[in-house]
Amino acid sequence: IVLVMAAVIVHGGAWAIPDSLAGASTEGCEKAAVAAHGALLAGKSALDAVEVAVKCLEDDPAFDAGHGSVLNAIGEIEMDAIIVDGRNLKFGAVAAVQNISNPVSLARKVMEETDHVMLVGKGANQFAVEVGIPEVNPMELVNSVAKQDWENFKKYKTVVRDHFNHPEQSPPGESGPKQATAAAPVVGTHSHETVGTVAVDLKGNFAAATSTGGITLKRVGRVGDVPLVGSGAYCENSIGGVSCTGHGESIAKVVLAKRAFSLIEFQGLSAQSALEQSLEYMWRCVGGKGGMIMISKNGDIAKSFTTARMSWASIDQKGILESGLSEPRLNLTVTGT
């Protein structure tokens, strides 16, 4: 007889988190993890728990999701989210929604109350009205820092470089470290990133969810990895659950979450090794950086990232709460092809 115990891990995004947001990022993750774990101990499902956790993060302006969302090229919000059920591979996703406080809840409605797996833009917002999810003024989801970042990035066009890259590392194929231009200020210090959660409940069922407000100054209609199953998140009871964060286009190109699952299923890797090798692969192949969290079917909790920092918090099957920001960062050694 295997005794199943509840566990949860959350992340608040992998990016160059500044010291000014360090405390809020870790504390926000801890709060979300505690809320989700409490739901699990009360007998709630893994789906309920990941929704609870991501809603906590969406409601926290320290994170780029819900109330911390950033602005696209024309100064508007477009949010994406996904939720995945490990019991049956069902998932629901939304993309480019604009006036919903908690896109993860709308994504769950898509999964449970439609025959579809994803709704986008106007259709997603129309569906939200049909199922009774309240609308909010999109500008209520934007804070003054997001507005300032939009102005800065619009002027200097350095979003991806400043958001994800380490100054001492260059993508494969480039020689030498990438330096900021002398004329450009240090911008994007509050640009946040994707949030996500993985949980296993008392019945041994897994769920995963990811939510984002996108990248500052993105093109209107741009959708990254988050709502794409196998990229932003993936979950199977027989293996576990994963949520990803980082440069969305890079994650989508390598189907990052599913790649980690394949390494476990077909090569027998541990959860930790699978995450590390998947991130190394993404860097080597497409020059992308990011982070991943996972709970495996045997209860192992894993996390890895290749950006400067990733905020995370977990509560394991013994009820022990842990959190971090700068460790365990995976140091990349690939600097050329």
The partner residues of 84 in beta bridges, in order of sequence, read: 91, 208
**Amino acid identity of 186?**
V
Q: Which pTM was predicted?
A: 0.88
Distance CA 241, CA 86 (A): 7
Give pLDDT, residue 4: 63
The residue to which tokens 């946040």 are assigned: 192
Q: Which residues contact 45 (CB under 8 A, 6 or more apart)?
A: 201, 203, 205, 207
Distance CA 292, CA 278 (A): 9
Average of pLDDT values for 10-24? 94
Q: For the chain, how far is it from start to end, CA to CA, in angstroms?
A: 50
Q: Which residues contact 299 (CB under 8 A, 6 or more apart)?
A: 5, 7, 200, 316, 317
- Given the residues 26, 189, 307, 337, select the one marked as catalytic: 189
pLDDT per residue as tens digits for the range 101-114 = 999 999 999 999 99
Give pLDDT, residue 158: 53
Note if 181 is an active site residue.
Answer: no
| Nearest CA-CA partner of 76 in 121, 117, 9 | 121
What is the average pLDDT value for the chain, to the nearest integer?
A: 87
| Nearest CA-CA partner of 282 in 236, 226, 231, 316 | 231
Whether the CB-CB separation of 57 and 28 falls below 8 Å is answered with yes
Higher-pLDDT residue of 306 and 192 is 306
pLDDT per residue as tens digits for the range 206-259 = 999 999 998 888 889 999 999 999 999 999 999 999 999 999 999 999 999 999
Q: What 3-state class would DSSP assign to 38? A: helix
Average of pLDDT values for 180-190? 35
Burial profile 51-74: b = 16 or more Cβ within 10 angstroms, e = fewer:
bbbbbbbbbbbbbbbbbbbbbbee
Residue 201 in tokens: 């409940």
Residue 219 in tokens: 């093109």
Confidence class for position 150, pLDDT limits 50, 70, 90: low
3 state SS for 112-123: HHCCCCEEEHHH
| Nearest CA-CA partner of 128 in 154, 100, 89, 91 | 100
Q: In the predicted model, is pLDDT for residue 296 greater than 60?
A: yes
Q: In the predicted model, is pLDDT for residue 133 greater than 90?
A: yes
